[in-house]
Structure 1
Amino acid sequence: MISEQIGLDLLRTYVAVCRQGSLSRVAAQTGRTQSALSMQMRRLESLLERQLFQRTGRGVVPTAEGELLLGYATRILALGDEAVARLQQADISGGVRIGLAEEVATAALPAALGRLHRAYPDIRLDVVVDHSIALGRLWGEDGLDIMIGPTSAVVADALTSWNVELQWVCAPDYVLDQERPLDLVTFAAPCLWRRRMIDALAAAGREHRITLTSQSVTALQAAIENGLGVGLLPPEAVRAGSIRALKASASLPGPLTVQYGLYARDRRTPVVDAAIGVLLEGIPAPP
């Protein structure tokens, strides 16, 4: 039986720490001290009598039991948000066209769309997941009401923006051979990430060869996990135990930072505003 001491606020903080991978980052976003958040997480571990986090040099990641709790906590919070939305919001109906960049449409954004669909069952969702350049073109043709993509792909002001740190990653047993070109696993062209990674390698004087291309994050993860080469992934796509982050070295650049934004048309319907409100819950808060 779940303890009465494990409230929604504690679960919400836990989910935020898991998603951000950093107590200090969550503390800065919420206006609380890092020591207070650390005490909350230790209290949660004590209540459950389980270790929920592993400390790393770059922050924290959930343990296997922590990932199990994360799934349940996310569902509990989603149900609570859904209940509040259904009770407090007037009936909203109509359509909304949403574009999501493939490289960031992982866990949080699809979960947000699921909450939107449950909270507003009369909204018709038309969701496009594609590479950033294609989305930018669709946005320019007025084919989307809302778009989440890199700021470099759109000539417009974003409602909010945030940085995504891309980590160089490989399989746990992958061995870098300094005498051979670096095997790369990357998105298919045209792709802003691909361009950035190749430019960074060229600046570092590191030769490379592309061993696999795909427009699917899942396919890139599988290729990296099976040792086909090195790739760039955001922290939430780095699966603990099957993918490891590489440290910067003389022949390998450090992590790359890409800025993303949430865009919406100036003239919006209540349906679009409702979609924006839910999507904002699934993206990192601005620094």
Structure 2
Amino acid sequence: MDSNLLKVFIKVANTKSISQAAKELEFTQSNVTLRIKQLEKNIGYSLFHRTNRGVILTNEGEKLFPYAMDIIKKVEEAQVHMRNIDYQEVLKIGSTQTFTTSNLMPFLEKLNSDFKQMNLEFAVDSSLNLIDKLLDYKLDIAFVNGNPNHKDIEILNVVEEKMVLVEPLNKEPQKTCFVFKKSCANCATLENYIKNTRDENYKTVELENFELILGCIKAGFGIGLLSPKIIEKFGYTNKVKTTDIENHLDTHLICRKDYLPIIHEYLREVTL
């Protein structure tokens, strides 16, 4: 129901005059009449009796009046509330499993310290799913692998992620690539690296967490592509062999262009 039509209805009901309502609203009389007719069409009832002395509410108009007053009151309260918001009340954050494991907690702790009144909600998913959720307004910001390059998405910040090839220390690995998800960017990067540098065919196997991936690599069951931060986090720095590769898989902090977080300037400047 159009609140602007209800405002006209309330004004006419209070003044009992189309002409007086038009004067107070700074509308033409024909404009007020047109809006009342539009509201009556929407409601399906006549709302006013026309008399020589002006207008009075019909029974249906009497029933509508308190609801109209309540609706307008709530709309005005909402407008005042929104004008007075000077901080981000809730921030819905999406992140890949890789970024969640290696970088997200320090970021969340900093947000919690700098914005104590802000509630944080977050979801972990693949980059593709996070982008879809962001575009559907289900997330405010998201950390995704690579540049999404979408017309409706704005990049707020970039985290340079160094990736290393991970192999067992003192044994020849089996021809298996271990990944968290086949749909993740790490998987495509690793498969391209193998294709360009090795003649053998490797199979790709999904494992449910990074610690399991590292354990399998250490045991010689295959290889992987991981961030050094993840290797260090799980205590495998001296237990596996790592090799720098040319490919870097940067993480981009993104939001919708038409739905910038209130703290977007902070997010552009924060060190991730």
Could you state the TM-score of these two structures normalised by the residue count of structure 1? Answer: 0.54
Q: 1:191-236 CA deviation, whole Å, 9 max, x = no partner? A: 2221222122223343233364135333323332333211001121
1:161 aligns with 2:154: no
**Alignment counterpart, residue 261 of structure 1, candidates 252, 255, 263:** 252
Determine the C-alpha separation between the residues in 2 that align with 1:157 and 1:93: 18
CA-atom RMSD in angstroms? 3.0
- Please say if residues 134 and 256 of structure 2, whose CA atoms lie closer than 8 Å, have aligned partners that are also in contact: no
Matched residue, 2:100? 105
Displacement of 1:160 in angstroms is: 2.6
Amino acid at match of 2:194: L
- Please say if residues 167 and 232 of structure 1, whose CA atoms lie closer than 8 Å, have aligned partners that are also in contact: yes
Determine the C-alpha separation between the residues in 2 that align with 1:215 and 1:131: 13
Determine the C-alpha separation between the residues in 1 that align with 2:104 and 2:204: 29
Matched residue, 2:118? 123
Alignment of 1:1-287 (within 5 A): 92=87, 94-155=89-150, 156-176=153-173, 182-210=175-203, 212-214=205-207, 216-239=209-232, 240-246=237-243, 254-266=245-257, 267-270=259-262, 272-273=263-264, 276=267, 280-281=270-271, 283=272
- Please say if residues 102 and 131 of structure 1, whose CA atoms lie closer than 8 Å, have aligned partners that are also in contact: yes
Determine the C-alpha separation between the residues in 1 that align with 2:261 and 2:156: 16
Displacement of 1:92 in angstroms is: 4.6
Determine the C-alpha separation between the residues in 1 that align with 2:123 and 2:212: 18
Determine the C-alpha separation between the residues in 2 that align with 1:122 and 1:207: 55
- Please say if residues 89 and 118 of structure 2, whose CA atoms lie closer than 8 Å, have aligned partners that are also in contact: yes
DSSP 3-state at the match of 1:117: helix
**Which runs of 5 or more residues in structure 2 are unaligned?**
1-84
Amino acid at match of 2:252: G
Amino acid at match of 1:242: K
Displacement of 1:119 in angstroms is: 4.1
Q: 1:171-197 CA deviation, whole Å, 9 max, x = no partner? A: 323324xxxx62221122212221222
- Please say if residues 91 and 120 of structure 1, whose CA atoms lie closer than 8 Å, have aligned partners that are also in contact: no
DSSP 3-state at the match of 2:137: coil
Q: Which has the larger radius of gyration?
A: 2
Aligned CA distance change for structure 1 residues 206 and 148 (closer, same or farther; 3 Å)? same
**Which runs of 5 or more residues in structure 1 are unaligned?**
1-89, 248-253
- Please say if residues 171 and 244 of structure 1, whose CA atoms lie closer than 8 Å, have aligned partners that are also in contact: yes
Could you state the TM-score of these two structures normalised by the residue count of structure 2? Answer: 0.56
The percent of aligned pairs where both chains have the same amino acid is 17
Q: 1:39-83 CA deviation, whole Å, 9 max, x = no partner? A: xxxxxxxxxxxxxxxxxxxxxxxxxxxxxxxxxxxxxxxxxxxxx
Displacement of 1:158 in angstroms is: 1.0
- Please say if residues 183 and 211 of structure 1, whose CA atoms lie closer than 8 Å, have aligned partners that are also in contact: yes
Aligned CA distance change for structure 1 residues 192 and 211 (closer, same or farther; 3 Å)? closer
Determine the C-alpha separation between the residues in 1 that align with 2:105 and 2:140: 17
